[in-house]
């Protein structure tokens, strides 16, 4: 019944528009974009993000990599329900798999981490939709909580790193005092490591906070999205802000802003289906995490990606997209392993 009502709305719109508007495929865009979001009822789907980390940087400068890497796959299964055309709910179940190789005790060691991550529970609101003879505009807002369902065992490594850094600083201070006492000038010795987790190739760029599946904290989620279509052209964008609280092991991830968007065009468009291509720019920026109230030097990050995105719809029920992106900006603090590329995609079915 809901599908019949949604299709009827699209047909009424097409009938009300003049022939010139139908020629520019506005009705098909309305079916592909607006009816899919407006339909009351259930929606299920899956989204995937695979990221390959191979570049080691220290304070935004690339340093030699002795063979470390991180391969991260986040598969999110989700289910939602639209109460009406304005309000809906969604629950996600992230399944995380990470394979890595890192320096431990001066030797390269392989490892992996997999399991359930922290679950998002969202409320979606669509406060504004505008449809004219030449354009479609849709604004959506969402907010909710990220629940601490993922394992935080790897965050225990942060306490060990803090202890090791304190010991290194103590040894460095003792060594400096001995050098001064022996008549050598003050300065950094060859074994100096900074608070940012440096130490060149002898230190690992893959940390416990990179491998942890969860945070142990209840975090807030705020976000917004917009779609603007004119004839076969469109512009879409979305952003999300994650407000972090203190979690396990007295560790608090920094607040995190992610965003993505860009212009595109429908290359195939029909009342039954659509295929679009989009040029996408996206990125992430976050400050330094905190452990026991003190900043963690090797956690600040700003990354910007560019790449193409392919999207497709079938009727008012099926939606799919896939994007491949390369980083064009990578700024970081301390020693970190940074991304070389990522692939994102999703598939959803509304019924």
DSSP string, 262-278: EEEEEEEE-SSEEEEEE
Q: What is the pLDDT of residue 5?
A: 36
CA distance 166 to 158: 12
Structure tokens, 51: 């990221």
If you search the block for the tokens 């195939």, which residue do you land on?
268
Angle, vertex CA 209, rays to CA 208 and CA 215, nearest 5: 120
Element (H, E) at 88: strand 87-104
CA distance 248 to 199: 27
Flag residues of the chain having pLDDT under 50.
Answer: 1-24, 163-180, 182, 184-200
Inter-residue contact 142 to 125 (CB < 8 Å): yes
CA distance 38 to 127: 11
Domain ranges of the chain: 2-153+199-350
CA distance 19 to 15: 9
CATH 3.40.190.10, applies to 2-153+199-350: no
Alpha-carbon distances, residue 212 vs 2, 137, 207 (angstroms):
42, 39, 9
End-to-end CA distance of the chain: 10
Q: What is the pLDDT of residue 15?
A: 39
Q: What is the pLDDT of residue 173?
A: 41
Radius of gyration (C-alpha) of the chain in whole angstroms: 25
Inter-residue contact 32 to 314 (CB < 8 Å): no
CA distance 166 to 228: 54
Give the pairing type, strands 290-291 and 294-295. Answer: antiparallel
Q: Which residues are within 8 A (CB) of 171 and not within 5 positions of it... i.e. 6 or more apart? A: none
CA distance 326 to 282: 10
Q: By three-state DSSP, how is residue 260 classified? A: strand
Structure tokens, 252: 């608090």
Look up the pTM and report it.
Answer: 0.82
Structure tokens, 132: 């004219």
CA distance 74 to 110: 20
Inter-residue contact 271 to 32 (CB < 8 Å): no
Q: What is the mean pLDDT of the chain?
A: 83
What totals of helices (H) and strands (E) does the chain contain, helices first? 6, 17
Q: What is the pLDDT of residue 189?
A: 35
CA distance 77 to 132: 35
Q: Which residues are within 8 A (CB) of 116 and not within 5 positions of it... i.e. 6 or more apart? A: 93, 94, 95, 96, 149, 150, 151, 213
CA distance 157 to 249: 9
Q: What is the pLDDT of residue 196?
A: 42
Q: What is the pLDDT of residue 27?
A: 62
CA distance 339 to 70: 9
């Amino acid at each position: 019944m809901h599908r019949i009502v949604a299709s009827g709305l699209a047909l009424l719109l097409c009938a009300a528009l003049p022939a010139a508007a139908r020629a520019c495929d506005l009705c098909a865009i309305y079916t592909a974009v607006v009816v899919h979001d407006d339909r009351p009822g259930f929606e299920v789907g899956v989204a995937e993000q695979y990221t390959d980390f191979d570049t080691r940087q220290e304070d935004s400068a690339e340093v030699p990599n002795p063979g470390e890497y991180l391969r991260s796959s986040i598969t999110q299964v989700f289910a939602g329900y639209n109460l009406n055309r304005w309000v809906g709910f969604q629950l996600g179940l992230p399944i995380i798999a990470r394979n890595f190789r890192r320096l431990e005790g001066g030797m390269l060691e392989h490892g992996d981490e997999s399991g359930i991550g922290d679950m998002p529970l969202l409320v979606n609101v669509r406060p504004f939709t505008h449809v004219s003879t030449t354009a479609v505009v849709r604004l959506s807002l969402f907010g909710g909580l990220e629940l601490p369902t993922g394992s935080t065992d790897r965050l225990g490594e942060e306490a060990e790193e803090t202890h090791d850094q304190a010991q290194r600083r103590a040894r460095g201070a003792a060594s400096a005092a001995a050098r001064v006492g022996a008549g050598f000038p003050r300065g950094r010795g060859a074994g100096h490591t900074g608070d940012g987790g440096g130490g060149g190739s002898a230190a690992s760029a893959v940390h416990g906070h990179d491998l942890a599946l969860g945070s142990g904290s209840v975090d807030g989620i705020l976000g917004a999205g917009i779609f603007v279509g004119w004839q076969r052209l469109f512009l879409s964008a979305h952003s999300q802000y994650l407000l972090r609280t203190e979690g396990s092991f007295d560790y608090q991830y920094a607040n995190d802003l992610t965003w993505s968007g860009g212009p595109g065009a429908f290359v195939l468009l029909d009342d039954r289906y659509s295929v679009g291509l989009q040029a996408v720019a996206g990125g992430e920026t976050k400050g330094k995490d905190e452990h026991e109230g003190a900043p963690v030097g090797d956690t600040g990050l700003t990354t910007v990606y560019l790449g193409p995105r392919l999207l497709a719809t079938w009727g008012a029920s099926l939606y799919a997209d896939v994007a491949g992106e390369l980083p064009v900006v990578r700024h970081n603090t301390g020693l970190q392993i940074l991304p070389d590329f990522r692939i994102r995609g999703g598939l959803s079915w509304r019924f």
